[in-house]
Each structure stands twice: as C-alpha cells, then as structure tokens.
Chains A and B, each alone.
Chain A
C-alpha cells in the first residue's frame, strides 16, 4: 500500500496516454456491462427455475391447448404432489402498447404450487370467492396505480365473449409480492372459472399444467409417466422440468444471444491489443527509471509486481468506471429487454475480467522490467 503514490505517479507519467487508455477500457466495460446485462436478463428465468416443478404442454407446440380433464389423471399418478394450470390470456390495458402478462388460474391450486408468490390469506380467500376477482403483482400495481377494490378492464387479443367483444372486467382483490425475484411481480392472475364461462370458444381447455413432484430426484420418471399417459391420444403432451422449459424458450430467441457474445469477444480482442501496446510502450519509455529503482535496491520481483500492479490499477479503475456507467444507462433499455438493473453477478464477472485483462497485458512488460539489466539500461 505504501507504494500506491509511486504507482499513481507512474500511471500519470503521460497524462494523455493514460486517459485515452483508461477511456477505451471504460468503453469496453460499458459494453460488457450492458450486453452481459441483457444476456443475464434472458438467462435469469433459467437460473431461478424450481427443481420441484414440471411443466406439461401440448407436444405440438406451446400454443396448443390441453383438455381440462387431464388434470385429474395427472394428479392420480404416483409421485405427483399437486397440479395447477394456467392459460395465456394475452391482453392489453387501453392501448396495445400496454401489454399485460395475464393468466386465468385456479387460485388455491396455483398459489400453493408457487410458494414464492406471497399473498395474504384473506386476499387469497377473496380471490377464490370473487368470480371476477384478480390478483396482481406489486410492480404491475404501481405501474398503473391500481389498488385493491379497483375495477380494471382488459382487452384480450385472443379470447372473445359470445357477444363478439373481447373486453373483460376484473375486480382487484389482492396484490402479491415475490421477495426472491422482483421480476415476477408483474403478472395479473384471475379466476379460470370466470374465463372458461365467458369465452366463446376453446371451453374446457387450459394452456399448460404445472406439476409439483414429491421428490425432485423422481422428476424424470414422473415426466415420462405423464407423457406416456397421453401418448397416442389426440392431445399428446410434452413434460419437462421448469428449467428445461425455460431453456427451450430461451433457445428460441436463439441467435441474438450468440451475436451478443460475438460482439463482446471482438471488443475484448481489440482491447487486448490497445492496452497491451500502451503498457509495453510505457515500460519501454521508463527503462532508465526502472533501472534506477533497481539500483536503489528494489528486487527483480518487486519491479515485476510494481508493473503488474500498475496495469491492474489502470484496468480495474477503468472497469469500475465502465460498469458504473453501464448501471446508470441500463434502466434506459427497460423497454427493449424489460430488466431494470444489471444483476450483481455481471458486475462481479466484469471485475474478474478486468483483473485477468490486467494480468495478461501486464505480464510481458512486467517480465521485461524484471529481466532488465541495470548497467545496460542506464547506459542507454
């Protein structure tokens, strides 16, 4: 630590050069923060997936529905603890731009299978007992200023009523929280019964089933048993763990993710050259100074450490600046990717990346400094 002033002085020996190098590293980490943040946003759903839950969808595609009658049959299978279902309602509020993630469910079944969604008991009871009742996430509530007791109309893009309209009215009876993942707080749940009685087609069907298994190690067997149950029926199913389901969904977004990785790779490749050449140059120019340090009694190793620390200081400082800037700008991307802040692991990865970068670019110049011959260097 006592060498800090020395390091600092060495770094600012050539102000312009250090500033420009600093800024180009900052830019690289700004990009890293933003792009990895986007990637992490996509991946988060996979990481948060629950191992106890299976998702059963139609084997044709997620968009095909399944008969409601399947539920009792699934429930009777050994290894199944409980079953819930949900469907895709696809509505918007007032304007198509205000899309709402809304699902008709059976309240008690659904909230029992998703214990991470926290809803007070009396609100759950009110939900069960109110035909037009709806329970919404805290984030959604604050977005539109909705509160318990409000009557909210939604326009479904899919489901029409027998009179040909697709405007559905709901009474908000509860607001749930999800302390483990705030991103889950934007859904809108309402009663399946109200939905099924009200819609003009597709009656008696649900979108997908969620199965809670008794023992997570039996997931694969239970999933196979469910699919076997409906094999060769008109509604064949595909059952996977929640994690597999999310991963498959992510793969559909496909190449966008890959492209982001390409870009990051290219950026860091260029950065390696830029920073590496700066460090080389800086050491080359200071050959006499380093020789003096050695003459004063600094060992070879401490000179090596000194140069490495200098590179470390530069890279980490710049990385922190870049990541800081990224966290400031990130909320601006909210409507592109729907994530409000850069997840912490990305920041940590960034800092680790900076350290690795510093060591890679600092190693050759540091080695040169270590091998420096005092007499030769001072003569030059």
Chain B
C-alpha cells in the first residue's frame, strides 16, 4: 500500500535511487577493473613455468644474464625436454619502444621481446590470429592483440624503426588475454643485434612438472657460476603488479566504501522524510489495529525496493558503459599494461547485494521511528 504512494513522493524517492545507482555503478566498474587486471595477470604464467632473472634485479627490464649463464640455466636438471632432446626454454631480452597511443596520440612505452626458437613449445597459449610468424634472422615482429588495439602503427604491414633498423609487423597473436598480449615479439638474436646488446635479461623454462620447482631452484641457486632469482611465473607476475593492485583496491574499497556510507545517509534522509510525510497514514493504520511489525515491514519494503531499483540501474549502467572496455596504464617493466573490464554476473549480483545492504541500513532507523510513532499525537497533529 505504501508502495503505491511512492509516486507522490517521487522527488525524495529519486534521491535513494540515484544515490545508490551511482554508488553501485562506481563499485561494480572499479571491481570489474580489479577483476580484469587480476585476470590478465593470473592467466599470465603457469605453475610449471619458471622465470630466471639476475639475483636482486626485481624486474625483467633491469636484469642481465650472460650467454654462458643462459646455457647453464637451460641445461639444469628438471627442465622439460622436447622430442629431439633439447630443453623447452627461451632466453629472452626485453626492450622498450615509445609509440603513439591510438586514444591520445601521445607516445607510450611498449615492450619488444626477443624470444627463442622453442617459444612455440614453451608458450603453447600463443597463437596467431592474423598474418604469419616472424622468420629468424629477418627484422620481423609479431604484435599482441592488446598492443595492436592500443597503439598506432603496429598493424600488420606497418614498419617500426629502431636504431637505424626497420622492422615489419607480419602477424598478430593472442595468448588468452595475458600480459604478453601487450607486447611485440621478434627473434631473439635479431632483436639483440638491433638493440646492440649482448646480454639477455631473462630465461623462461618449462619444468617436467610443477613439483620439480624446488629442486630446480636449489640447483641454480647453489651453482657458484650463477647469481640468479628463480620464480614461478604466477608468483613473478603477482609481485610485479603489487603496486597497481594496491591502487585499484584503494579505489574499489576505499572510494566504494566511502560512497556507500554517503548513500546510506541519503537513504536515511529519504526514508525519514517518507515516514514523516506518512505519519498521519501510519498513525491511522496503527489506530485501526495494524501492529508495529506491519509498519516496520512496510517501511523496510519501501527502502529495499527503492535500493533495488537503484542497484539495478547502477549495475546496468556499469555493464552498458564499461563492459569490454580496455584500460591501460603503466605497469611492470615500465611499459603499458592493458586490461579488459569484465562486468561478470557475480559482480552485478554483488553490486545489487550492496544496494540492498545500503537500503536495509538506510531503512532501519526510520522504520523504528515509524513503529514508535505515538498514535494519538500523530493524529492530533493533523
């Protein structure tokens, strides 16, 4: 019955709806960002793949490994061998090139990764979606799907100049949405010579099994000719993204939480005024025999319904505007990391649940007030 009266109080009811819609929209979209980011990272790397860097170098970009050392690292026991008995491993270098972003036209950093000949066995998740693979000893690159979407001049057929050498992009690859999709890749020896380097930066190896890790790590760290850090890929990528994760979590929980508190105040306000506008009606209901419980329920239902509408609008807005959007920012290795916003059903549900919690909290005190309303005074005031 009180629901039918909502249109009469449209103005104040909108306050709840809009307040909650905005809160839920922000919460859902920031959480979608967190989810997209962690998806990019969690899908980068497998437990049976290991990345080896120079000891204490923290990130690939600052690491250096000599050619002799890469051989020791790849030949150590525990590394999986392919059909012809060669270790499934890739000694790599990464460099940064600055290219213009499509969105703003300003230059941003993009990773160029030189990869070894065993890359196909090492990273089976990488496959071409257009064009062809680069050929060794030729200045050709393949571009990741995310990088192709974000940067100008990296489409198939375009040319990139690095230190007097011209490179042609010949293929585009995808790798299950992981961090490598934000990179360019080329043949390691050709990339090394173009950047005039003779040091590698990391070695990625495939182990016989995830359990072989401890033994493999011991082997490398006790080798007197090596000073290296050995990490499972998932651990490495998680550590690389700690800073960004912190910022995103602050946005999601800090900002989302503060907004939720603000929305609760808005809801309280609306429901209090709803109760006071209906005080005569409520008193009449009480006078003709409705219990306090019924009154509490009616206020609650109104608050919940309004918040639900707000939650739905907010969740829908987040889904409409942000689902599938890409966000890029400066990530590990001093280069752009791209992640996709995915508004999942779970996120939508959690947004709506949040809306209901806000509604319940906002409706609680006004409901109690309504129930306690002294019947006689309320009727007399009219």
Contact = CB atoms under 8 A, between A and B. Distances in A.
Interface of A: 16-17, 20-21, 23-24, 27-28, 30-31, 34-35, 59-64, 90, 92, 96, 155, 157-158, 160, 164-166, 201, 232-236, 238, 248, 251-256, 259-260, 263, 266-267, 269-271, 273-274, 277-278, 280-281, 333, 335-337
11 contacts: A20-B266, A20-B269, A27-B265, A252-B108, A254-B329, A263-B26, A266-B26, A270-B23, A270-B263, A277-B15, A281-B12
Interface stretch (B53-61, B82-90, B135-143, B180-188): B53-61
A24 B262 contact: yes
Contact of B269 (A21, A59, A64, A166): A21
B61 A63 contact: yes
B95 to A, nearest CB: 7
A28 B18 CA distance: 14
A271 to B, nearest CB: 8
Contacts of A64: 95-96, 195
A47 to B, nearest CB: 18
A61 B96 contact: yes
Given A27-B265, A254-B108, A17 B14 contact: no
Contacts of B12: 277, 281
Contacts of B254: 34
Interface of B: 11-12, 14-15, 18-19, 21-23, 25-26, 30, 33, 54-59, 61-64, 95-98, 101, 104, 106-109, 162-164, 195-196, 199, 227, 246-247, 250-251, 254-255, 258-259, 261-263, 265-266, 268-269, 272-273, 327-330, 334, 336
Given A27-B259, A61-B98, A274-B15, A255 B329 contact: yes
B103 to A, nearest CB: 8
Contact of B11 (A90, A92, A201, A277): A277
A96 B22 contact: no
A253 B15 CA distance: 35
B262 A60 contact: no
User: Among the interface residues A166, A273, A274, which one has the most CB atoms of the partner chain B within 10 A?
Assistant: A274
Given A17-B273, A20-B266, A252-B336, A280 B330 contact: no
Nearest to B227: A164
Nearest to B330: A252
Contact of A30 (B11, B61, B258, B327): B258
Closest 6 CB pairs of A and B: A27-B262, A61-B96, A270-B22, A158-B62, A24-B265, A20-B269
B104 A251 contact: yes
Contacts, number: 167
A263 B251 contact: yes
B62 A90 contact: yes
B266 A259 contact: no
A27 B15 contact: no
A263 B195 CA distance: 42
Given A24-B265, A27-B262, A255 B58 contact: no
User: Among the interface residues A35, A92, A267, A270, which one has the most CB atoms of the partner chain B within 10 A?
Assistant: A270
Contacts of A63: 61, 95-96, 109, 334
A278 B247 CA distance: 35
Contacts of B63: 157
Contacts of A238: 98
Given A24-B265, A61-B109, A64-B95, A201 B273 contact: no
B95 A61 contact: yes
Contacts of B33: 259
Contacts of B97: 60-61
A16 B254 CA distance: 26
Contacts of A31: 255, 258-259, 262
A166 B108 contact: no
A105 B254 CA distance: 40
Nearest to B226: A164
A157 B247 contact: no
B61 A28 contact: no
B22 A267 contact: yes
Given A27-B259, A61-B109, A267-B259, A274 B269 contact: yes
A336 B163 contact: no
A273 B19 contact: yes
A17 B269 contact: yes
